Homo-oligomer: A and B are copies of this chain.
C-alpha cells in the first residue's frame, strides 16, 4: 500500500490532538452526569424513510447497504445525521421502560454528505442533552439545559463562549402583532440577516411575510436587540407591538436570561435575531458563539420542541441542546489554541538494565500502576541515554532506574534524580496525567 491520503471531511487526530478531544469529552460527560443526565447511545443507522421525513436535508444523507444486498431489511438504512431523530425514535420505542421526565446525554458521531469546509465535516461528533416529558414538560427545563451547557463551557479549555437565546413565541408574536400573514416566513427571513444583510431581509419580510415597509423596519429593530440582562423587555416594549404570544415569549425569555444573569453572569445573552429558521422549535432557542471565532458558526445549538416524538396517542415534548464537538475541535486544535502537555498517558518510563532484568522492571511498573500511575517499561535495554530519549520524544516526564540499592527516579526535564520506592513514590499531581491547556494568553479567557 502506498501512503494513503486523508478523506476530506472525515477528520482524524494525532495522539496529542486526541488527548485534547478526550479532555473535551470527559469534561462534557462529567458536567452532564453531575446534573443527572443518563448516558445513551443509539445505533448509527435509521430506516431511510424516517430520516427523509425531515425533508430539508435529504441531499445530505449517507445510505448504507450490504455489498451483496438481498431483500434484506437493512437495504433501506442510512447513517443518522444528528442525535435528535434517533433519540426521538428511541423514546417511542422504549417509552414503557423509561421514567419521565427523562434526562439523557448522548455523545456520538453523526454523518452528513455536505461539502466540507472549515468547521463543517462529513463525520462529526456531537454531545447532546435532552429532557423529555410525557404529555407535558415544565418551562424551567428551558432555563436548565442552557445553564448546564454554560457550565460545560466554563469547564472546558476554550475561548469564552456566549450562549445566545431567543424565544420563538416572542418572535412569532411580534410578527403577528405587526400583521404578518406568514410568521414562519418572517422567521426564515430574519434567520438570513448575517448572510444577506438587513436591506434584503426587509424585502423578504414584505414579499414573503406580508408585512409593510414600516413593520419590516420594526422587525429589523427587534433583531438588533441584544442584552445580557432582562433590559431587552423594555426595548421590545418600546417598539409598541402587542400580541398575547409576544407577552408569553417575553416572559419566558426574561425568565431564562434573568436566572442566568443571577447564576452565571455573562454566560447567556438575549439575542433577538436568533431564529434557527429551519427547525421545528416552539419556545426557547439557543445558539453559541466562541468569542473571537464567530465565523466558525454556532458550536452549541438547540431549543424547545412541543412534540419531539408522538405515537398518535402520546406526545413527548422536549428541550435539548447539542454541542458540536468536532466544530469545537476545529477551533481548539485547528487554530492551535489548545495543546496537551505530552502525547501519551504515560507518566513514568521504567528503564531496563539488560533483557534478563526486564522482569524486575516490570515489577516496578506493576507497583506504580497499582497506585494509578501510568507506566511503561522501556522497549529495549539500550544505553540509558537512548532510553531517556525514548521518554523525551513522547513527553514522559520521569524515568525510573533500578540499581542494587533499590531504585531512583529522574525528572528528565530538570535532571533531578532521587532514590525512590515504587510502593511509595508519587509524582506531582500536575504530572500524573497529560494536561490539556489553552496555549493562548490568559487575557483571552474570562
Residues of A bordering B, CB below 8 Å: 1-15, 18-19, 22, 33-45, 48, 50, 58-68, 73-74, 77-79, 89-90, 92-94, 97-99, 101, 103-104, 109, 111, 113, 122-123, 138, 140-141, 259, 262-263, 309-312, 343-346, 355, 358-359, 362, 366, 369, 372-376, 379-380, 390, 393-394
Contacts and interface: CB of A to CB of B under 8 A. Distances in A.
Given A4-B89, A8-B73, 13 more contacts: A3-B311, A4-B92, A7-B73, A12-B90, A15-B104, A34-B345, A35-B374, A36-B374, A37-B345, A44-B44, A58-B67, A62-B65, A140-B358
Contacts of A73: 7-8
B41 A18 contact: yes
A40 B15 contact: yes
Contacts of A262: 359
A358 B258 CA distance: 14
A64 B79 contact: yes
What are the 9 A-B residue pairs with the smallest beta carbon separation, nearest first? Answer: A36-B376, A36-B346, A66-B113, A10-B43, A33-B345, A15-B38, A34-B369, A61-B67, A4-B93
Contacts of A63: 64-67
A2 B42 contact: no
B42 A12 contact: yes
Contact of A14 (B94, B344, B359): B94
30 contacts: A1-B92, A1-B311, A2-B312, A4-B89, A6-B93, A7-B73, A14-B97, A15-B104, A18-B39, A33-B345, A34-B345, A34-B372, A34-B374, A35-B376, A36-B346, A38-B344, A44-B111, A48-B67, A59-B68, A60-B67, A61-B67, A63-B64, A63-B65, A63-B66, A66-B113, A99-B394, A101-B379, A138-B380, A262-B359, A263-B362
